[in-house]
Amino acid sequence: QKEVEQDPGPLSVPEGAIVSLNCTYSNSAFQYFMWYRQYSRKGPELLMYTYSSGNKEDGRFTAQVDKSSKYISLFIRDSQPSDSATYLCAAEGTGRRALTFGSGTRLQVQP
Amino acid sequence: DTGVSQDPRHKITKRGQNVTFRCDPISEHNRLYWYRQTLGQGPEFLTYFQNEAQLEKSRLLSDRFSAERPKGSFSTLEIQRTEQGDSAMYLCAWVEASTDTQYFGPGTRLTVL
């Protein structure tokens, strides 16, 4: 079993929809959680990072972490065709060394 | 601006050949990471450097792989006797000091024929 699990999708939504992307993790030592966006043949781009449980909002993006259920979420409001990409969740322990990634969810926003 | 440049962006090689990739931070970054990403998967940690010291290596980094960071600036990743299973995107990442978060370069796509 992978330490970070993510539904690969693809997830297809109409423009303007609210998108919910989710991950689960198994390692209780994870304290830091990140979401990256990756366009085809590009490097991952950091979108959001959070420490421990709670919510964090940045524009149309909201990241949510529930450590009690080991559940990580990213919500995208008013989705745009330019949001079409693969979204990767990642986690890191208190040692702040290597990131552990999920396999990514491919999102398609239809105009 | 990804904070690092990677060269080459794409490398095609024949099985058994040696390849070397380079990662150049745009400014000084103490910590520098290498990850490998295969198709349909997330990046997997290979190794990281604190300045010039290689502090951790993943079990994925077989003895055919070697990484260096002379003088704590640019870093190289060499793969000897490449195999078709080495075909992947090789990503370099740097750490933003104030948030301790990792930012990725554009990657080098390796295709082994």
Measured between beta carbons, which residues in chain B are less than 8 angstroms from residue A49?
Answer: 99, 101
**pLDDT averaged over every residue in chain A:** 94
What pLDDT sits at residue B60?
Answer: 85
The Cα of A52 is separated from the nearest Cα of chain B by a number of Å equal to 14
pLDDT band at A96 (very low <50, low <70, confident <90, very high): low
Asked if residue A94 has pLDDT above 80, the reply is no
The Cα of A1 is separated from the nearest Cα of chain B by a number of Å equal to 14
Token code pair at residue A88: 């990767």
What pLDDT sits at residue B100?
Answer: 85
- What pLDDT digit, counting tens, does each position of A15-41 carry? 999 999 999 999 999 999 999 999 999
Per-residue pLDDT averaged across A92-111, rounded? Answer: 91
Of A44, A90, A96, the CB nearest to B100: A96
What pLDDT sits at residue B97?
Answer: 82
Interface of A with B in 8-37 (CB under 8 A): 8, 32, 34, 36
Counting as low any pLDDT under 70, the low residues of chain B are: 1-2
Q: How far apart are CA A17 and CA A19, in angstroms?
A: 6
Share of chain A above pLDDT 70, in %: 99
Token code pair at residue A54: 């709670």
Token code pair at residue B67: 């990484």
Q: Looking at the DSSP assignment, which residues form a beta bridge with residue A37?
A: A45, A87
What pLDDT sits at residue B37?
Answer: 98
Share of chain B above pLDDT 90, in %: 72
Measured between beta carbons, which residues in chain B are less than 8 angstroms from residue A32?
Answer: 100
The better pLDDT of the pair A52, B24 is held by B24
Asked if residue A89 has pLDDT above 70, the reply is yes
- What pLDDT digit, counting tens, does each position of A72-85 carry? 999 999 999 999 99
What pLDDT sits at residue A36?
Answer: 98
Task: Give exposure, B32-62, as e/b (b: 16+ Cβ within 10 Å).
Answer: bbbbbbeeebbbbbbbbbeeeebeeebeebe
What pLDDT sits at residue A51?
Answer: 87
| H helix or E strand, kind and range, residue B13 | strand B10-13
What pLDDT sits at residue B1?
Answer: 65
